């Protein structure tokens, strides 16, 4: 695993060591000020990046910062009970909305999911323009923190930072424009050139940049004029929410989740292009009649295609279900014996599924199909909690998945899962990593004050 250390003049690996974790020594220099979190998703949107930044916002408030959030209206994954808890108030005829998240003021700019490319682009542009102008009205901002995607949010924040005289921290959750260039039909050299120049502009004009993984770090560090600006702060999980559960704590709908002796293999999350569904279909066809059942839970652009394939091949061993409330996720993880993640070739090098942390925190093993040098495989390689299938050949990949499922047993899965939980508790729990964000902001403000 990657060492946990900090080197102020070199390349830092997660910022959770004694120099920065002891941020109290800056208290005489840094007066805790206001942080503006600018993210395309935030509560009550029910997606992983929103949950991540909910916890980051809570931590900054706990540490004495004034916190404000600038985001969109829920549009990725609307959950009715979350919308009822955090009511949005309309302003100026719906030009923007406001809400309260545990005492933190949140400004929402209207967005809506659409299958129409032109409408999506129009909404995207509208969000950028409105967030810029609404950001100007945020008073006394000391630091703006935002995650990618999109890359353009970093550009907006740099403009805001210049006008407001505040620092900007950009968090690279996915590497753009690499994903667009490698995994779409984008072939226009002028557009690619502009995007790459925009990426360098955002990296080099930000006060600091964080990324979540050593592979990401190695990929983008050469794009910095000052590589010392780049830091690794991994993502994290709430270990009090995601934890091992006893069978008596599982209270799921038995018509959807029957209590039987079959091996239960599950995926819960976005059903999209980043995941490779072909191996699942082929393995399920081979294992028909075996005491093995696959659950796919979630929503996404490829859900209808997946359901059509399941129906076409009469795969009674594949159960596709809609998104389930986050409150049920610990029970779903406990119900399954094994969690699978099959990454699409090419896209697997530009992203890291945050669900890996929640699965490990729940003390569950993983079955992963991805390239050997991708972030997910590099992370899991030496932990012992995952079976990694890194074959390039589709046929060999399918054989590897099938063999593992047929030759493994539930006791082996329990032993694997326990190893993952130990690592999460030691390095990737919510308290440790959110403190790293606070420490980084403290450091950025300390450097700024010293310069003054």
Dihedral (CA of 423, 425, 430, 433) sign? negative
Fold observed for domain 18-236+429-451? Rossmann fold (3.40.50)
Q: Are 96 and 137 in contact (CB under 8 A)?
A: no
DSSP collapsed to 3 states, 242-265: CCCCCHHHCCCCCCCCCCCCCEEE
What confidence tier does 405 reach under pLDDT thresholds 50, 70, 90? very high
Can you tell me the distance from the alpha carbon of 149 to that of 313, in angstroms, rounded to the nearest whole number? 36
So what's the pLDDT on residue 26?
Answer: 42
Residue 16 pLDDT class (50, 70, 90 cuts): very low
Over range 168-183, report the average pLDDT: 85
Residue 208's pLDDT band (boundaries 50, 70, 90)?
A: very high
How many other CB atoms sit within 10 Å of the CB of residue 412? 15
Q: Report the pLDDT value the prediction gives residue 11, as an integer from 0 to 100.
A: 32
Q: Classify burial at 105, counting beta carbons within 10 Å of its beta carbon; exposed 0-12, middle 13-18, buried 19 or more.
A: middle
Query: In the chain, pLDDT over 70 holds for what percent of residues?
Result: 90
Over pLDDT 90: what percentage of the chain? Answer: 70
Cβ(159)–Cβ(185) under 8 Å? no
Residue 2 binned pLDDT confidence (cut-offs 50, 70, 90): very low
Q: In the predicted model, is pLDDT for residue 27 greater than 90?
A: no
The number of helix segments (H) and strand segments (E) in the chain equals: 16, 15
pLDDT band at 31; cut points 50, 70, 90: low
Strand partners, 100: 105
What CATH class is the domain 247-427? alpha beta
Q: Where are the domains of the chain?
A: 18-236+429-451, 247-427
- Position 209 scores a pLDDT of 97
More confident residue, 327 or 38: 38
Q: Give yes or no for a contact between 39 and 131, defined as CB atoms under 8 angstroms apart.
A: no
Confidence band (pLDDT; 50, 70, 90) for 152? very high
Phi, psi of 141 (to 5 degrees): -75, 130
Is residue 397 within 8 Å of residue 279, measured between CB atoms? yes
DSSP string, 371-414: -TTSHHHHHHTTTSSEEEE--SSHHHHHHHHHHHHHH--HHHHH
Residue 210 has pLDDT above 60, yes or no: yes
The mean predicted confidence, pLDDT, of the chain is 88
How many angstroms from the chain centroid is the CA of residue 173?
Answer: 7
Average pLDDT rounded to a whole number, residues 9-28: 39
Assess contact for 173 and 147: CB atoms under 8 A: yes
């Amino acid at each position: 695993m990657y060492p946990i250390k900090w080197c102020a003049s070199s390349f830092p690996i997660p910022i959770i060591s004694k120099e920065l974790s002891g941020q109290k020594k800056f208290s005489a220099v840094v007066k805790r000020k206001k942080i503006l979190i600018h993210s395309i998703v935030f509560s009550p949107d029910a997606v992983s990046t929103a949950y991540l930044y909910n916890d980051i916002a809570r931590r900054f408030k706990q540490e004495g910062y004034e916190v404000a959030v600038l985001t969109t209206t829920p549009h990725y994954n609307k959950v009715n009970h979350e919308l009822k808890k955090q009511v949005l108030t309309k302003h100026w005829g719906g030009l923007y909305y406001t809400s309260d998240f545990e005492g933190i003021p949140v400004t929402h700019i209207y967005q809506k999911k659409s299958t129409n490319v032109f409408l999506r682009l129009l909404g995207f542009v509208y969000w950028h323009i409105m967030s810029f102008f609404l950001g100007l009205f945020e008073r006394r901002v000391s630091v703006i923190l935002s995650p990618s995607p999109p890359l353009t949010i970093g550009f907006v924040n740099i403009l805001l930072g210049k006008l407001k005289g505040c620092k900007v921290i950009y968090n690279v959750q996915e590497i753009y424009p690499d994903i667009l260039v490698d995994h779409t039909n984008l072939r226009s050299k002028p557009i690619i050139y502009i995007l790459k120049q925009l990426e360098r502009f955002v990296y080099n004009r930000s006060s600091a940049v964080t990324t979540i993984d050593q592979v990401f770090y190695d990929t983008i560090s050469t794009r910095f004029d000052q590589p010392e600006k780049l830091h690794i702060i991994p993502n994290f999980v709430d270990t009090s929410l995601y934890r091992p559960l006893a069978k008596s704590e599982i209270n799921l709908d038995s018509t959807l989740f029957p209590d039987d002796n079959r091996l239960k293999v599950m995926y819960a999350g976005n059903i999209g292009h980043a995941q490779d569904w072909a191996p699942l279909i082929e393995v399920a066809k081979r294992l028909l009649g075996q005491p093995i059942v696959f659950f796919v839970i979630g929503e996404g652009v490829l859900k209808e295609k997946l359901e059509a394939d399941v129906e076409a091949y009469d795969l009674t061993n594949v159960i596709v279900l809609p998104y389930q409330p986050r409150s049920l996720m610990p029970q779903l993880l406990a119900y399954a014996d094994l969690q699978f993640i099959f990454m699409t070739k090419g896209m697997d090098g530009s992203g890291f599924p945050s669900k890996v942390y929640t699965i490990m925190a729940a003390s569950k093993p993983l079955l992963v199909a991805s390239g050997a040098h991708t972030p997910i495989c590099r992370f899991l390689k030496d932990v012992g909690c995952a079976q990694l299938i890194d074959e390039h050949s589709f046929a060999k990949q399918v054989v590897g998945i099938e063999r593992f499922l047929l030759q493994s047993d539930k006791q082996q899965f329990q032993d694997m899962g326990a190893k993952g939980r130990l690592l999460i508790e030691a390095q990737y729990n919510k308290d440790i990593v959110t403190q790293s964000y606070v420490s980084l902001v403290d450091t950025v403000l300390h450097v700024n004050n010293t310069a003054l």
